[in-house]
Structure 1
Amino acid sequence: MEQIQIIDAKKHVGETVKIGAWIANKRSSGKIAFLQLRDGTAMFQGIVVKNEVGEEIFQTAKNLTQETSVWVTGEIREDSRSKFGYEIGVQGIEVIGESHDYPITPKEHGTEFLMDHRHLWLRSSRQHAIMQIRNEIIRATYEFFNKHNFIKIDPPILTGSAPEGTTDLFETNYFDQKAYLSQSGQLYMEAAAMAFGKVFSFGPTFRAEKSKTRRHLIEFWMMEPEMAFMHQDESLEIQEQYVAFLVQNVLDNCELALETLGRDRAILEKYTKLPYPRISYDEAIDLLKENGFDDIEWGDDFGSPHETFIANSYDRPVFILNYPKAIKPFYMKPHPTREDVVICADMIAPEGYGEIIGGSERDVDYDHLLGEIERHGLNPEEYSWYLDLRKYGSVPHSGFGLGLERTVTWLAGIEHVREASPFPRLLNRIYP
């Protein structure tokens, strides 16, 4: 008898198989018990008929408790009534590990309770669906960048300097000097791009922002591509192709997860249509002022209500180009005809999910970049290696960063970014 996973049930219709699973739920009516079985790959129903299995196995089935682990044997059958499309006619049950008083029951629970039990909450069908979408975005990311001849480079997590200033960094002792948990791998990816042409990284980043919004995590994962011999306009094309590719792969490969979450596929399909709209920061300010946003002035950064309104003015993600120099990091290339803005862009996701990509063309002028480092109050000695990139064969180059959890939140259609991370780190939460 072959041992299979639930996700492969369609390959074994009519066969008697063995499956290791947990009991997600159960109900019985007289002489039939219905078991909701999950094994981590998918969930389907096990049918236990008393007349077919006998009194002992039937009583075992009736007495199973939520999250008890079992070996189940039986015949795989098609089931047109279920979303999954298959079920197992149970012939035998062997209890592996009993579960008593499982804390997360089918009733409603408060968010704090569920977060305290995140190690168990991950087992629920909704959380399972979200993690499947997260996994697909990661898988598709590697496929996209490999197809486009990028090389994956891993920047360090412990750094001696900060790409965007030290105010939002976690500081630690690195033997006899200070070090910081990385808030971005970008500067190192620029060095890698000078060696390999087109590179990308994917890893954890840390921001010590004391933020409690539904868009912010303390620890999150970033995709950070960097491209030599590339100006900003070409980078924007890569960005929109990448995001559209992610959306299409979630549509193609996460059908059951999207259905579990109640995500409207027709909405997501609109996001595969390219190109995405582009507006300047100046135009975005005008749009907001024309529509009653009296709290925003030129030079301000956008808050959540502003980004939401701008995004809702379009039916797809929108690029906002060329932000004021004063609110952006030191490494962005100055605009060729204006001193007050830099060559950069944020991609704002529709439906109120905010910025999912930030990117720019990088400054390549040694003297100008040195001046910006000093103007930002940073120590040039700590950035001497970064300045070296402008001394030895400098070329135009651009890059961007995509926040994984925000993208998961958006494509899954969920409300809060905390569900997009398996074990989220929030302002007041580091357990479990």
Structure 2
Amino acid sequence: MYRVFGRSFSSFAIPSIKQLFAKSKTKETVTIKGWVKSLRKMKGITFLDISDGSTDIKLQVVANKSLQLENLTTGSSVTVVGSMDRNPKGQLEVTADDIDISGKCILEEGYPFAPRKTYTPEYVRQYLHLRSRTNKFASMLRIRDGVTQAIHAHLHDEGYINIHTPILTSNDCEGAGEVFNIQPESQNIQRAMARENVPLTESYFNGKVFLTVSGQLHLEAMAHGLSKVYTLGPVFRAENSRSRLHLAEFYMLELETAFVDKLEDLMSCIEKLIQNVTILVLHKYQTDFKQAQIGDLDFAWTQKQFPVITHDYALEVLKQNGRNLNDDCNFTKEDEIFLVKHCGNVPTFVINWPKDQKPFYMKECKTEKGKVAALDLLAPNVGEIVGGSLREDDYYLLQEKLPTEKLQWYLELRKFGGVPTAGFGLGFERYLQLLLGITNIKDTIPFPRWPHNCSL
């Protein structure tokens, strides 16, 4: 314990189990706070495996029967004080001098996870508030955190500035209408904020406001003053889908760069980001990957250049392999995965998409009529994980395509010192599916939301 300005900070001074394993010093008194993952009673001695969530490696605690641990069970939270040393096998362990039960785990009242037993993702998903107690999901969460840190580090090294784009917005960026409307719950507030010629449900903001589907348009505004910007945050889609592929709330990495007028430059940026982050996280979280991965995954693609094919070529490949597609058809998830396998099971860029399949802000190709300079990056076993494009920088062409007068500010970016820009969005949870082989996207996020499900 130590004191600063009369306050005690003993709990924050206690090293985590991960930090203890990183230390070379032994034969010292340590304090551990965590949960009992397993408990083995021998004659006169009890062995406890303790985890505090900082690492997938459990710390073994040896407790003499004199400590009287009759009420201790798996799942209980404990504070252990004891001497840390190496056992005859060379492994770190703690011989307990004192064990205090911080919180009992009453197994007979329905604790859902037994030690050394595995459960299906569907079963674990029933207990969102307890999922972090399972080894596999805890490892996934540590990897998720590692990916987040690696993305920020990579983009900062590349000169990008992190922007906190708004969650409440008057823009429906994608134009698909899959938005959640925002209004006060209290009708008293609605009436108090009432304005002439404004519906009562829109009175708070004097118009319709939504949960964001993308921070892209706001990022473009920032890129017109800061050049290289990105955001990583939640976005929302009101899709009527309960499939393993969709969430109502998920995270997107979105990036915008000014003074870019070639799709090749954007693809290079995406490839470098994904490969560098993947290599870093694979190296740093090796033991967590062994715990969290589903099946054996091949990451040879981290050392290969991503193939690039046109939408027309992709369409022809699918038709030649039995898919009955019209030229304006969207690809299914199965189509996307087939195309990746066709290209050597390496993440594959599909470029130059039909104009009618993409949003208004994408720049039309100069050499291909009816096409836009857009890309999708398709990944093994997952399908699309990135969508991006050059942005239309021609004031008059954009003026013709602008879907609403509310976006006049977006048009003005092209009038006041406008520059060519490009950007993309990467589905964070889909990237985690790629890394870990996770089939259901609901198992890549702490608290998934989907139609008819928003528990907790």
**Do both proteins adopt the same fold according to a TM-score greater than 0.5, normalized to the shorter chain?**
yes
Distance in 1 of aligned mates of 2:137 and 2:295: 18
| Distance in 1 (alpha carbons) for counterparts of 2:414 and 2:454 | 41
Secondary structure of the 2:251 match is: strand
For residue 303 of structure 1, the aligned residue among 322, 332, 339 is 332
Residue in 2 that maps onto 1:384: 408
Q: What's the CA shift for 1:148?
A: 0.8
Find out whether 1:222 has 2:252 as its counterpart. yes
SS in 1 for 2:368: coil
User: Counterparts in 2 of 1:87-102, with a 5 A limit?
Assistant: 87-101=93-107, 102=110
Distance verdict in 2 for CA 1:240–1:354, change over 3 Å = same
Fraction of identical pairs, as percent: 33
The offset of 1:263, in angstroms, is: 5.8
Paired with 1:392 and 1:225, the residues of 2 have a C-alpha distance of 21
Equivalent position of 1:128 in the other structure: 138
Deviation at 1:182, TM superposition (A): 0.4
Corresponding letter in the other structure for 1:293: R
What's the offset of the Cα at 1:157?
A: 1.1
Secondary structure of 1:343's counterpart equals strand
Q: Deviations over 1:387-428 (max 9, x none)?
A: 001111221110001111111122122221111111111122
**Among candidates 10, 14, 36, match of residue 3 of structure 1:** 14
Which residue pairs with 2:285 in the alignment? 254
Residue 395 of structure 1 corresponds to which residue in structure 2?
419
Closer/same/farther in 2, CA of residues 178 and 90 from structure 1, 3 Å limit? same
Alpha-carbon distance in 2 for matches of 1:250, 1:349:
18
Structure 1 residue 348 corresponds to structure 2 residue 372:
no
Letter in 2 for 1:284: A
Contact 2:232 2:253 in 1 (8 A): yes
Is it true that 1:21 corresponds to 2:59 in the alignment? no
In the alignment, the residues of structure 1 paired with residue 128 and residue 270 of structure 2 have an alpha-carbon distance, to the nearest angstrom, of: 33
Q: Secondary structure at the match of 2:255?
A: strand
User: Secondary structure of the equivalent of 1:137?
Assistant: helix
Structure 2: runs of 5+ lacking an equivalent: 2-12, 184-201
Q: Secondary structure at the match of 1:240?
A: helix
Letter in 2 for 1:178: K
Change (3 A) 1:146 1:160: same
Per mean C-alpha deviation after superposition, the further-off stretch among 115-124 and 100-109 is 100-109
After superposing the two structures, state which structure 1 stretch, 254-263 or 192-201, moved more. Answer: 254-263
Once the 2 structures are TM-superposed, how far is the Cα of residue 359 of structure 1 from its aligned partner? 0.4
Q: Which residue of the other structure, out of 423, 432, 435, is the alignment partner of 1:411? A: 435
Aligned to 2:66, the other structure's residue is in SS state helix
Equivalent position SS for 1:323 = strand
| 1:30 to 1:166, Cα distance in 2 relative to 1, 3 A | same
> Quick one: distance in 1 between partners of 2:104 and 2:172?
50
Q: Describe the shift of the 1:15–1:323 C-alpha distance in structure 2 as closer, same or farther (beyond 3 A).
A: same
Normalised TM-score (structure 1): 0.91
Asked whether the 8 Å contact 1:235–1:399 carries over to 2, the reply is yes
For residues 170-201 of structure 1, the C-alpha deviation after alignment (integer angstroms, 9 at most, x for no partner) is 11235132111100010111111111011111
Task: Give the 3-state SS of the residue equivalent to 1:116 in structure 2.
Answer: coil
Alignment of 1:193-208 (within 5 A): 193-208=223-238
2:449 alignment partner in structure 1: 425
AA aligned to 1:29 is: M
SS of alignment partner, residue 334 of structure 2? helix
1:150 CA displacement: 0.8
Question: Secondary structure of 2:219's partner?
Answer: helix
2:128 equivalent to 1:118: yes
SS in 1 for 2:47: strand
RMSD: 2.2
Distance, in Å, in 1 between the alignment partners of 2:251 and 2:297 is 28
CA 1:308–1:266 in structure 2 vs 1: closer, same or farther (change >3 Å)?
closer
Task: Write the deviation string for residues 25-47 of structure 1: whole angstroms up to 9, x where unpaired.
Answer: 22223344231211121241424
1:161 CA displacement? 2.0
Whole-angstrom CA distance in 2 between matches of 1:414 and 1:208 = 23
Q: Give distance in 2, aligned partners of 1:166 and 1:290.
A: 31
